[in-house]
Structures are given as structure tokens and as C-alpha cells.
Amino acid sequence: MQYITYLKANTVEDAVGKLHGAGDNAVILAGGTDLLVGFNSHSVDPSTTIVYIGEIETIKAIKETEAELLVGSMVTTTQLAESPVIGRYAGALQQAAQESAGPQVRNRATIGGNIATASPAGDLITALYALDASVTVVGTSGSVRMKIGEIITGVKRTSLSKDQMITEIIIPKKSPGSESAFEKIGKRKAMTISAASAACQVTLSKDQKSIAEIKVAVGAAAPTVVFAHGVEDALRGRAIDDQLVKDVSKLAAEVINPITDQRATKWYRQEVVPVLVYNTIMKAISQVQKAGGVA
Amino acid sequence: MKLTIRFKLNGKAVSAAITPEMTLLTVLKDVMLVNSVKRACVSGECGACTVIVDGKAMNACLILAMTIEDKNVETLENLGAPDRLHPLQKAFVEMGASQCGFCTPGFIMAAKAFLDENPDPTEEQIRVALSGNLCRCTGYVKPVKAVQQAIQEMKDIESGLTPVQAIQGAARIMQGHSAEELNIQIH
Ligand SMILES: Cc1cc2nc3c(=O)[nH]c(=O)nc-3n(C[C@H](O)[C@H](O)[C@H](O)COP(=O)(O)OP(=O)(O)OC[C@H]3O[C@@H](n4cnc5c(N)ncnc54)[C@H](O)[C@@H]3O)c2cc1C
Ligand code: FES
Ligand code: FES
């Protein structure tokens, strides 16, 4: 009987070398919470070479520079859920992490694995779109930086080649007067994959009376996470108005392309996405106002 | 091709001859013959296979065993024995939080990892800590109450009440009497 090959990488360079050496059979193993579900449900091709990146110390930390948060690809969902720095500068990502899976999975699941899985229901991904995140990818041909939306190309598809790995996620620190929020809905409260989700980042004007800048992302309602540009355009520069936000959130239904699956029907997704969009926008606005001392 | 992995199991250095596609669940259950770890969904959904790895609760079914080299793995066997149960085990028995018992080791290990980091949690925090575990018999009220009773007993043991007094007091609080009414001091 032939078995799979298991290789442990000690550094990013080591991982890339091992991936290159294994060619088409290479598979990166991070937390394993997506990969092992697959291994357990159908037998693994024995020619597979697993390259384990979980012992590479340089990709396990959350760091900050003056302008950016640098999140290593092996940072776990638990780390994101608990980190004060993530809470301060990337609220949507923290909320998405807190609402992902259950404690046992969160302790193992990683941000790099969430991106590379490229599920339209990836909660961290939805938040990363709204936060305008970029990703550093390292391969034999060097290191490239791209936007989160450029690496994810379709349902469970990325632009990564077999010898490339995600090493870092870069999130611009929000400006003062800005907050982000995330909300999801699923079949039950805990341990649920999103039937639909929304994340936004809102920057208010100095007087906190109008919306200066806004980004809105919707998850689990199209082949990839999508931006609701119609909602953004309709709110940019406008005075804060609950009814207006409610009305224009309906525009989000136009950019999604939902399917009916075991988690929700197409109709339900069309109805619920505007509600999630409205909720996250109002949540972000009220957080800015709270931080700025306006009731 | 058999490989050897070395790790710590319940404080003891062990080694096991395994094949590279085995999960930690398979190694614990089928190679090391650890009884408490249960195999059910093998997809991370139910928590019956929960063990503690380097202080954190994890699903053994989603861990490739090779990645456990040099780590500390803790299972229910490390907690207590029938004649000296851990407060969590005792509380699960006394509160009726265990019926068929299949899910119980997983619940207790999830609770143990959580209480090691948060000795004085709110009820909501306990619910979140147990949200990765499914039980088809008792529901979710009794396991939460059992964890609360165990916390109370651990505090009482620390404060010098005998375990019997402590349990009686805790059980009465669970039945709806207040601590003041029973003249029990909660620290
Ligand atoms: C019970 C359960 C509940 C879940 N609930 C949620 C949920 O609520 N929300 C959610 O979003 N997800 C959920 N998930 C999915 C999963 O936990 C996440 O997608 C997780 O972030 C995956 O990370 P990982 O490290 O475990 O990935 P792995 O399984 O290790 O890898 C996943 C894929 O990414 C590749 N990969 C991993 N790291 C890298 C890297 N650095 N560079 C390039 N490729 C890489 C792997 O080769 C593999 O193809 C759940 C999973 C389970 C089992
Ligand atoms: S058997 Fe591992 S979570 Fe169900
Ligand atoms: S006691 Fe039977 S599944 Fe929980």
C-alpha cells in the first residue's frame, strides 16, 4: 500500500522549496479544518504531498505598523477573535472571527486557510473585502502583493499556483471617524456556515453628520464575495438617515447572484441580504458616533 | 511505510507507529486505545472527539497526527478516576448532564480547556465555550448548569469547604435558592 507524503516546513522559503519539489501533487496544510473534512469523507490520493506550514513561527503573529495591520497567514480564528489590535482597527474581522464555527475549530482554523479555500461563505473573507485588505503571496518566482478580490477568482478557486503560499494579510488601519462591522445569518446561532453575510466599513464626516466613505461587501450570495457598489454610491456624501440607508440597502440585492442550497433558498437570500447590509451600516455608524462622543 | 511520532499524552512521553494519513483521532482511539475519545461525525461538527492540545480544545478528527509531534495532548483520562472524580465529571453525573454519555468526554474537555483560561465565566461565556459540542440526549441546559456547579465546587475547595458541603451548597443554588438564603459565602 502506498501512503501520502508528509513534509513539515520550517520557514517560508523551506515551504516554497518543498511545494516546488512536489509539483502538482503538493497540498499546503495549515489548520486542516477544511482539508481534513475532505480527507475524512473520501480517501486521499496517495500521490499527495502534504506540506505542513503550522510550525513556521514567522507567520503566526499579528503586527502593526503606523498605517497597517500585518496578519500572518497562520494566525488562528481564535487569535483574531481575541486580539485587542484587531478589535480596535478591524472590528468587522473580529466579529466575523467570533461568529465563525465553534471554539475547537476556531483554535485551529487560520486566516490563510479561509482565503485559500475561497468559499463564498468564508466569513473572514467577507470582512477582508470590506476592510480593503491585500495579501502577500510568496512562490519560487518571488513575492507578490495583491488585493483580496484578485486572489479569489471563483467558487473555491484562487489565482494561486501550486508552489505559492499566502504569507501575510495586510489591512489598512482605519482612519479616525471610521468603523467596520460584520453580520451573518445561518440555520442556528453557533457553529453555522453563513447562508448570507455582510460587512462594511463606514467613514463619517468630521461633524459626524454624513457618510464620507463607505465600502460594503456581501458574502454567501454569489460565486465570490461581492461589493455592493450601488449601495456605496447611493450613500457616499449623504447625510446619515436611517430610512435612506434602509431604502438603498435594497440595491444590494441587485449585485448578488444567489443560489438555492441546503442553507437557504435564492428567495431568502435576496430578502435577507438588504437587511444584513442595513444592520451592518447602522452598527458601524453608531460605533463611530459612540467613539466620537455623539449620542 | 510506518512513521514514528513522539508526543506527550496526559503528561507522559509516548511514541506511536503510524501512517501519514492518520488523524489524531485514529491514533488515540485505534493505536493508543484511549477510550474516552469518541468518533462520530469526523467533520468537526459534533465535538465528541475533543481533546486539549497545548492548552486549547481541538477536534482530534480534524488534526493530521503527524502535526502533533512534540505537543502535549490531554484527554479525559487525565482528569479523574471513578473514586476521585474531577469536579467537572462529578457535576456532569450529579446534574444529569450525561445520559447515554457519548458526548460527555468532549463536553468535559471543552469545558476544562475553557475554565483553565477563564475560571470565573458568565453563563453566556459558558454557552459559547460549549457551542462546538452536540448532545442528542440531555439538551444544553444541564451541561451549562453542570459547568456552573463544577466552578462552584472548585471555588469551595479552594476556600476550604469540604467537597460534600460544597456540592450540597452548589446543588441548592442550582435548585433556585440564593447563596445568602443558604448562608454560603461565594468567593
Ligand atoms: C465544523 C466547521 C465549522 C466551520 N465554520 C466556519 C464558519 O462559520 N465560517 C467560515 O468562514 N469557515 C468555517 N469553517 C471552515 C474553515 O474552518 C475555515 O475556512 C478555516 O479558516 C480554514 O483554515 P485552515 O487553516 O483550517 O485551512 P486548511 O484546511 O489547512 O486549508 C484549507 C485550504 O487552503 C490551503 N491553504 C491553507 N493555508 C494556505 C496558505 N497560507 N497559502 C496558500 N494556501 C493555503 C490548503 O491547501 C487548503 O486547500 C468551518 C469548518 C468546520 C469544520
Ligand atoms: S468526531 Fe470530531 S467533531 Fe465529530
Ligand atoms: S448524553 Fe447522549 S449525546 Fe449527550
Residues B62 and B94 in one domain: no
Q: What is the pLDDT of residue B164?
A: 65
Q: What is the pLDDT of residue A263?
A: 87
User: Quick check: is B182 in a domain?
Assistant: no
Report CA torsion sign: B66, B71, B77, B79.
negative
Q: Which residues contact B148 (CB under 8 A, 6 or more apart)?
A: B123, B126, B170, B174
In 3D space, the residue among B55, B68, B54, B71 whose CA is nearest the CA of residue B25 turns out to be B68
Asked if residue A27 has pLDDT above 90, the reply is: yes
Give the residue from B32, B52, B77 where a domain finishes: B77
Cβ contact B58–A104 (<8 Å): yes
Q: Which residues in chain B are closer than 8 Å to A54, comparing Cβ atoms?
A: 67
User: Quick check: is B184 in a domain?
Assistant: no
Among A186-190, A220-224, A257-261, B57-61, the minimum mean pLDDT is found in: A186-190
* For range B55-79, the mean pLDDT: 98
CB pairs under 8 A between A and B: 91
Using the structure block, give the residue that is written with the C-alpha cell 517560508.
Answer: A12
Global pTM value:
0.93
Check: CB of residue A221 under 8 Å from CB of residue A194. no
Instruction: Report the distance separating Cα B8 and Cα B15, nearest Å.
Output: 8
Residues B158 and B93 in one domain: yes
Average pLDDT, rounded, for chain A: 95
pLDDT tens sequence across A102-125 = 999 999 999 999 999 999 999 999
User: Quick check: is B105 in a domain?
Assistant: yes
Distance between Cα B102 and ligand 3 center (Å) = 5
Q: Nearest chain B residue to A9 by CA: give it.
A: B67
Residues B46 and B101 in one domain: no
Cβ contact B43–A37 (<8 Å): yes
Ligand 3 pocket, residue B137 CB under 6 Å: yes
* For range A37-65, the mean pLDDT: 95
Q: What is the pLDDT of residue B166?
A: 63
Global ipTM: 0.94
Residues B92 and B129 in one domain: yes
Instruction: Report the distance separating Cα A280 and Cα A200, nearest Å.
Output: 6
Average pLDDT, rounded, for chain B: 91
Ligand 1 pocket, residue A231 CB under 6 Å: no
Instruction: Report the distance separating Cα A92 and Cα A102, nearest Å.
Output: 18
Residues B32 and B95 in one domain: no
User: Quick check: is B179 in a domain?
Assistant: no
Among A137-141, A264-268, B131-135, the minimum mean pLDDT is found in: A264-268
Q: How confident is the model at residue B174 (pLDDT cuts 50, 70, 90)?
A: low
Q: What is the pLDDT of residue A245?
A: 98
pLDDT tens sequence across B8-42 = 999 999 999 999 999 999 999 999 999 999 999 99
Instruction: Report the distance separating Cα B80 and Cα B84, nearest Å.
Output: 6
B interface with A, Cβ–Cβ < 8 A, is: 1, 3, 19-21, 23, 42-45, 47, 50, 56-59, 61-64, 66-67, 69, 110, 113-114, 128-129, 131-133
User: Quick check: is B49 in a domain?
Assistant: yes
Q: Nearest chain A residue to B59 by CA: give it.
A: A104
Q: Which residues contact A155 (CB under 8 A, 6 or more apart)?
A: A118, A119, A120, A223, A224
Asked if residue B45 has pLDDT above 70, the reply is: yes
* CATH code of residue B164: 1.10.150.120
| Cβ neighbours around B25 below 10 Å, total | 25
Distance between Cα A184 and ligand 3 center (Å) = 29
Asked if residue A1 has pLDDT above 70, the reply is: no
Candidates B64, B114, B147, partner chain A, best to mutate (most A CBs within 10 A): B64
- Which residue did the predictor score with more confidence, A178 or B173? A178
Q: What is the pLDDT of residue B56?
A: 98
- Which residue did the predictor score with more confidence, A225 or B180? A225
Give the residue from B77, B97, B118 where a domain finishes: B77
User: Quick check: is B181 in a domain?
Assistant: no
Asked if residue A295 has pLDDT above 50, the reply is: no
Residues B116 and B165 in one domain: yes
Give the residue from B77, B96, B111 where a domain finishes: B77
Using the structure block, give the residue that is written with the C-alpha cell 505537543.
Answer: B71
Q: What is the pLDDT of residue B187?
A: 47
Residues B119 and B95 in one domain: yes
pLDDT tens sequence across B110-155 = 999 999 999 999 999 999 999 999 999 988 999 999 999 999 999 8
Residues B110 and B63 in one domain: no
Asked if residue A10 has pLDDT above 70, the reply is: yes
Residues B91 and B170 in one domain: yes
Cβ contact B132–A39 (<8 Å): no
Cβ contact A3–B20 (<8 Å): yes
Ligand 3 pocket, residue B133 CB under 6 Å: no
Ligand nearest to the CA of A191: 1
Q: What is the pLDDT of residue B165?
A: 66
Above pLDDT 70, what percent of chain B? 85
Asked if residue B161 has pLDDT above 80, the reply is: no
- E-assigned strand segments in A74-195: 134-139, 142-147, 152-154, 157-158, 165-172, 178-185
Residues B150 and B108 in one domain: yes
* CATH code of residue B38: 3.10.20.30
Distances (CA, A) of B54 to A56, B6, B23: 17, 14, 17
Cβ contact A191–B132 (<8 Å): yes
Residues B63 and B111 in one domain: no
C-alpha cell at B166: 460544597
Q: What is the pLDDT of residue B139?
A: 87
User: Quick check: is B100 in a domain?
Assistant: yes
C-alpha cell at A56: 513556521
- Which residue did the predictor score with more confidence, A47 or A294? A47
Residues B95 and B162 in one domain: yes
User: Quick check: is B82 in a domain?
Assistant: no
Cβ contact A191–B110 (<8 Å): no
Range of the domain at B92: 87-174
Number of domains in chain B: 2
Q: What is the pLDDT of residue A192?
A: 81
Q: Which helix (H) or strand (E) holds A94?
A: helix A91-98
Instruction: Report the distance separating Cα A2 and Cα A25, nearest Å.
Output: 14
Q: What is the pLDDT of residue A187?
A: 79
Instruction: Report the distance separating Cα A249 and Cα A257, nearest Å.
Output: 16
